[in-house]
């Protein structure tokens, strides 16, 4: 039942609006159309476990205390002009930027700039289980729940109007990186107070108010989201007055819209479409390394997958080279660790599981495994880490059939997958993860910690106290060499236990029309659209 109320409201389409025409003529002079496949269940990234809200919308509606430079991978100021790390990493003090206005929307008019009250409200709501807003719309904050921040954060305090201090129970060297993710927006405490007085608190997460470059204007479930420019954006007025997020077509349908000009930007094009995109003079293509990993999760709570040797045997039957050729077409490399190669803690000694179907059959037979039938859950939408999940699943199905394992593919969307995960009735899940951070903790704890089972981000249902201890010890030190040593040991343990089988590190792809300029593709997710504009001076006939 988590988030059911807000999900229902969103699925009904809470904003009445005239239907948006598929032709882009009405916005060609004032904006652009961004085509992406995704499922909505909230507009608040704090309550999301990834997907469209985090990857695309968060950077438009909200700002964070800190940001990550997409080129240097370093932390940089955003709503916090500066910060201090005290008590060996157990206390963090943030000095806030002044004269930053919240958005003036149809449902809220701010009377003051952003200040410490807003930062305290935003994080206290998530970290403090006793906060009056914590349980609004379900009380689930998957990313931070998986990190156990409700237990780790001692206090979030306002020291003065422009200074906030967050105290932890123990040092955490990754803490700043987690606050720089899109899961950590700054919300308006004044908006929350207004909603409390009118007993309409649930609106906070479905009618967003942030300090970002764009505001929500219209939403039609399964069709589109229209964004309107925030004229008072503190970094300067965005160059386009509106953006339409087109949700109405998948796969080849979105490619067709890009080719005909109905879409200006195509997020996550299939790698098989690259030749078409490269050969069309009307289009541009951007490729960048991404902080993401596609992987296969074994449900370690279900026999016989609860035995590491069975998981190892199944891994031998998967032909990763064919996945690279048939799914990614040169836009990914085979993964050897759950950590992307771009992470500073990536274990260079990590080895890819070899493809050896004969050995796989022999090991399964020796283990007494016969006539094994597994259900494989597969997301329906293309993802940053996998442009063709269903085709990938079919290849895995064929590979495992060769070693005598029958696989039934169950296609699911994000909400269904989250709702059914706790029932533990799946055997395998084809999924992946991408973050706004190159800190390894952004992968290890959300995906594989014991706490991440309850937060529904640990699809393997794997709980290993030794692993949790190694990850925890790594957080206690500010010394990079010490952290790397613990993370190397954690990766060695993962290779031995294999709760998840890493498959690929995918390049981030984005295709767009020739006249679209200023579109930044970040390895950590889609960046703000504030600088995007249309250069009509270069427009030529197709």
Q: pLDDT tens-digit profile of 128-171?
A: 999 999 999 999 998 999 888 999 999 999 999 999 999 999 99
- pLDDT at site 27: 74
Contacts of 356-362 spanning 24+ positions with Cβ under 8 A:
356/316, 356/317, 357/316, 357/317, 357/399, 357/402, 357/403, 359/313, 359/316, 360/313, 360/314, 360/315, 360/316, 360/317, 360/403, 361/317, 361/403, 361/404
> Which token pair is 147?
């990190």
Please, what's the b/e burial string for 130-141 (b: 16 or more CB within 10 A of its CB; e: otherwise)?
ebebeebbbbbb
CA 438 – CA 523 distance, rounded (Å): 9
Q: For strand 214-220 and strand 224-229, is the pairing parallel, antiparallel, or unpaired?
A: antiparallel
- pLDDT at site 200: 97
Helices and strands, number each (H, E), in the chain = 19, 22
Query: How do residues 23-39 score in pLDDT, each as one tens digit?
Result: 445 677 789 999 988 77
Domains annotated for the chain, with CATH where assigned, are 4-229 (3.90.76.10), 292-506 (3.10.105.10)
The answer to whether the CB of 507 falls within 8 A of the CB of 332 is yes
Query: How do residues 325-348 score in pLDDT, each as one tens digit?
Result: 999 888 899 999 999 988 889 999
pTM greater than the 0.85 cutoff: no
Query: Quick count: other Cβ atoms within 10 Å of Cβ 171?
Result: 16
CA 245 – CA 529 distance, rounded (Å): 12
> H helices of 147-208, where?
149-152, 175-179, 189-197
The answer to whether the CB of 378 falls within 8 A of the CB of 430 is yes
The answer to whether the CB of 480 falls within 8 A of the CB of 454 is no
| Residue 8 Ramachandran class (φ > 0 left, ψ -120 to 50 alpha, else beta) | alpha
pLDDT, tens digit only, all 542 positions of the chain:
334 334 333 443 444 333 444 444 567 778 999 998 877 889 999 999 878 898 899 999 999 999 988 778 789 999 999 999 999 999 999 999 999 999 999 999 999 999 999 999 999 999 999 999 999 999 999 899 988 899 999 999 999 999 999 999 999 999 999 999 999 999 999 999 999 999 999 999 999 999 999 999 999 988 999 999 999 999 999 999 999 999 876 656 888 899 999 999 998 888 888 888 988 999 998 888 878 999 999 999 999 999 999 999 999 999 999 999 999 888 899 999 999 988 889 999 999 999 999 999 999 999 999 999 999 999 877 777 888 899 999 999 999 999 999 999 998 875 555 555 556 678 999 999 988 777 899 999 999 999 999 888 899 999 999 999 999 999 998 899 999 999 999 999 999 999 999 999 988 888 999 999 999 887 776 689 999 999 875 443 33
């Amino acid at each position: 039942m988590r988030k059911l109320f807000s999900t229902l409201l969103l699925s009904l389409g809470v904003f009445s609006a005239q239907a948006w025409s598929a032709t882009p003529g009405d916005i060609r002079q004032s904006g652009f159309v961004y085509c992406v496949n995704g499922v909505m269940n909230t507009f608040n990234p704090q309550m999301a476990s990834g997907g469209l809200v985090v990857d695309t919308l968060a950077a438009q509606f909200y700002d964070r205390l800190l940001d990550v430079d997409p080129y240097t991978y370093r932390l940089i100021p955003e709503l916090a002009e500066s910060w201090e790390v005290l008590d060996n990493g157990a206390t963090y003090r943030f000095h806030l930027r002044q004269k930053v206005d919240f958005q003036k929307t149809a449902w809220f008019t701010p009377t003051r700039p952003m200040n410490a009250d807003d930062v305290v409200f935003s994080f206290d709501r998530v970290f403090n289980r006793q906060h009056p807003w914590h349980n609004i719309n379900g009380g689930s904050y998957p990313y931070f729940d998986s990190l156990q921040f409700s237990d780790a954060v001692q206090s979030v305090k306002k020291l003065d109007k422009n200074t906030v201090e967050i105290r932890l129970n123990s040092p955490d060297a990754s803490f700043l990186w987690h606050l720089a993710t899109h899961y950590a927006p700054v919300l308006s405490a004044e908006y929350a107070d207004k909603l409390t007085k009118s007993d309409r608190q649930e609106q906070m997460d479905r009618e967003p108010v942030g300090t970002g470059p764009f505001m929500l204007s219209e939403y039609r479930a399964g069709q589109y989201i229209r964004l309107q420019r925030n004229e008072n954006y503190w970094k300067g007025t965005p160059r386009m007055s509106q953006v339409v997020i087109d949700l109405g077509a998948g796969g080849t349908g979105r490619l067709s819209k890009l080719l005909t000009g109905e879409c200006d930007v195509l997020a996550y094009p299939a790698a098989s479409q690259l030749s078409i995109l490269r050969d069309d003079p009307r289009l541009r293509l951007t490729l960048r390394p991404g902080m993401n990993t596609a992987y296969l999760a074994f449900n370690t709570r279900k026999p016989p997958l609860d035995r590491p040797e069975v998981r190892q045997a199944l891994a031998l039957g998967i032909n990763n080279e064919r996945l690279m050729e048939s799914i990614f077409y040169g836009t990914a490399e085979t993964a050897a660790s759950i950590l992307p190669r771009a992470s500073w803690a990536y274990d260079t000694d990590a080895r890819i599981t070899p493809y050896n179907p004969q050995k796989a059959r022999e090991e399964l037979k020796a283990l007494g495994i016969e006539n094994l039938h597994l259900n494989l859950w597969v997301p329906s939408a293309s993802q940053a880490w996998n442009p063709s999940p269903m085709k990938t699943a079919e290849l895995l199905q064929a590979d495992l059939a060769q070693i005598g394992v029958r696989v039934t593919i169950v296609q699911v969307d994000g909400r269904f997958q989250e709702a059914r995960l706790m029932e533990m009735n799946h055997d395998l899940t084809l999924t992946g993860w991408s973050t706004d951070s190159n800190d390894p903790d952004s992968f290890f704890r959300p995906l594989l910690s014991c706490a991440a089972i309850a937060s529904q981000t640990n699809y393997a249902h794997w709980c290993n106290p030794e692993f949790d201890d190694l990850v925890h010890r790594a957080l206690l030190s500010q010394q990079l060499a010490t952290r790397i040593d613990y993370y190397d040991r954690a990766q060695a343990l993962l290779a031995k236990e294999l709760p998840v089988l890493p498959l690929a590190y995918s390049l981030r792809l984005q295709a767009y029309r020739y006249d679209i300029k200023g579109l930044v593709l970040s390895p950590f997710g889609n960046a703000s659209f504030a600088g995007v504009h249309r250069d009509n001076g270069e427009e030529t006939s197709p």
